[in-house]
């Protein structure tokens, strides 16, 4: 049997990029990630894929239904699968250990591909605007140097490097663009690079999310960029929420919930709803005080009546509790159900849900982790872990907000097969 093309995922997060490549037929060798909760999410997902290949998803279902704790669940999975997720921060002092563990997992195979992108805060426009030093001196600016060390060691045929569009303008203390410095370094490692800004909504994701996707190919040839096929499913954002249980603020469950049997074209073609009867989890809304709920009602009514966004300073004085009235005047925002895509899901959703208000007035709440995951095109059987093994909204929201949309990743991966 022909071996699959394999990959190593660096700065893997919760695995959105990886999941897309797995769905396209690539085989993961290892994932490297510093966040502990995200690593548990990756281990659980690798366990899912291992069980699926063996027709044993009943064990996974038992775990999601609460019949097994995490340790019991992992006991069914080979240690090599669990240990393929390397929970280590990538830095000079840890490279040797990461290389050693990756070498063991590779065995005598050659590594075909490296994927992943360093944390984006140092390059993001918002991050720079909030930082008094405009992120100068932040160690995350130079994580691409360690990425290059992996390229030099393993010399894969290709690599796929993802990051925020702020990378196009982010400069170091000498005025040099980080993107230029990256490409020069990667060239010295033996790679031509090409990049484009891809918008998720052009590829079937119901979310406006633009990212730089830089692809490197070993050698000197050019014209290899794997630009994915565009897909417009011709649906509105309400499609992502249609079949989930209707709940109010503080309602729902982080455990298994009952989803309607509705299957829309987008659900099927985007791979959102599973056909194996697995539980749908993490559909629980934050509790809100009455003041927030009143603001939510105002915001939703304003959108429904005039397609206008709520400006914070237009609220009655009794509802204005934030001292900063000059910036972030759009801190309350509805996920508009009648548009073809939502605004961008970001990690700040972990802090509060005011920027992601559910469009249904009868529910009057912010969106749940499962709804956010659907807007990121994660399948319903994707489970987001916490450090402790007890499900929690916060870590799930953070991981979802930081992720690459699975559907976009899958389309890039499929196109990469064509140009390989």
Q: Which residues contact 119 (CB under 8 A, 6 or more apart)?
A: 11, 140, 143, 402
Contacts of 88 (CB under 8 A, 6+ apart): 32, 34, 94, 97, 98
Q: How many residues does the chain have?
A: 420
pLDDT averaged over every residue in the chain: 93
Rounded distance between C-alpha atoms, residue 358 and residue 350, angstroms:
16
Q: Would 407 be classed as within a structural domain?
A: yes
What pLDDT does 172 receive? 87
Full-model pTM: 0.94
pLDDT at position 325 is: 73
Rounded mean pLDDT, 388-414: 97
Between 282 and 136, name the one with better pLDDT. 282
Say if 11 falls within a structural domain.
Answer: yes
- Pick 139 or 21 by higher pLDDT: 21
| pLDDT reported for residue 321 | 87
Confirm whether 81 is domain-assigned: yes
Quick check: is 120 catalytic? Answer: yes
CA angle 225, 227, 231 (to 5 degrees): 175
Does 311 map to a domain?
no
User: What is the distance between the alpha carbons of residues 109 and 393, in angstroms, rounded to a whole number?
Assistant: 39
- Least-confidence region, from 45-49, 144-148, 259-263: 259-263
The total of structural domains in the chain comes to 1
CATH number, position 149: 3.40.50.150
351 in a structural domain: no
pLDDT band at 122 (very low <50, low <70, confident <90, very high): low
Q: 210 versus 122: which is more confidently predicted?
A: 210
> Residue 184 is part of which domain span?
6-232+403-419
Percentage of residues in the chain having pLDDT higher than 90: 86
Residue 334, domain member (yes or no): no
Does residue 135 lie in a domain region?
Answer: yes
CA 77/CA 57 separation, integer angstroms: 12
pLDDT attached to residue 139 = 62
Residue 326 has pLDDT above 90, yes or no: no
Using the predicted structure, report yes or no on whether residue 217 has a pLDDT greater than 60: yes
388 lies in some domain: no
- Asked if 117 contacts 159 with a C-beta cutoff of 8 angstroms, the reply is no
């Amino acid at each position: 049997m022909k071996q699959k093309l394999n990959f190593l995922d660096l700065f893997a997060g919760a695995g959105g990029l990886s999941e897309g490549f797995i769905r396209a037929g690539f085989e993961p060798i290892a994932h490297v990630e510093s966040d502990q909760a995200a690593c548990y999410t990756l281990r659980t997902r690798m366990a899912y894929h291992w069980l699926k290949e063996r027709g044993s998803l009943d064990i996974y279902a038992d775990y999601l239904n609460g019949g097994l704790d995490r340790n019991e669940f992992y006991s069914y999975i080979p240690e090599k699968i669990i240990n393929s997720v390397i929970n280590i921060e990538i830095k000079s002092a840890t490279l040797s250990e990461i290389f050693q563990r990756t070498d063991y997992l590779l065995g005598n195979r050659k590594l075909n591909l490296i994927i992943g992108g360093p944390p984006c805060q140092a390059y993001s426009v918002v991050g720079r605007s909030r930082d008094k030093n405009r992120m100068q001196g932040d160690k995350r600016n130079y994580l691409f140097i360690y990425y290059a060390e992996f390229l030099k060691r393993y010399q894969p045929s290709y690599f796929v490097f993802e990051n925020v569009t702020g990378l196009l303008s982010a400069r170091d203390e000498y005025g040099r663009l980080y993107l230029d410095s990256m490409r020069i370094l990667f060239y010295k490692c033996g790679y031509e690079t090409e990049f484009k800004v891809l918008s998720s909504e052009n590829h079937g994701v119901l979310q406006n999310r633009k990212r730089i996707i830089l692809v490197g190919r070993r050698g000197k040839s050019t014209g290899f960029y794997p630009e994915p096929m565009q897909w417009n499913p011709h649906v509105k954002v309400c499609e992502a929420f249609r079949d989930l249980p209707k709940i109010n603020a503080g309602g729902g469950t982080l455990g298994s919930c009952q989803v309607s049997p509705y299957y829309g074209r987008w659900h099927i073609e985007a791979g959102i709803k599973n056909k194996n009867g697995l539980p749908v989890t993490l559909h629980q809304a934050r509790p809100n005080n009455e003041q927030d709920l009143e603001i939510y009602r105002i915001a939703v009514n304003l959108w429904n009546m005039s397609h206008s966004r709520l400006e914070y300073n237009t609220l009655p004085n009794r509802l204005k509790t934030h001292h900063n009235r000059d910036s972030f005047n759009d801190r309350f925002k509805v996920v508009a159900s009648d548009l073809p895509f939502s605004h961008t899901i970001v990690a700040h959703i972990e802090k509060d849900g005011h920027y992601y208000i559910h469009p249904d007035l009868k529910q009057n709440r912010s969106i749940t982790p499962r709804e956010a995951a659907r807007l990121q095109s994660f399948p319903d059987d994707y489970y987001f872990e916490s450090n402790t093994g007890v499900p929690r909204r916060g870590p799930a929201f953070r991981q979802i907000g930081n992720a690459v949309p699975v559907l976009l990743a899958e389309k890039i991966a499929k196109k990469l097969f064509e140009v390989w």
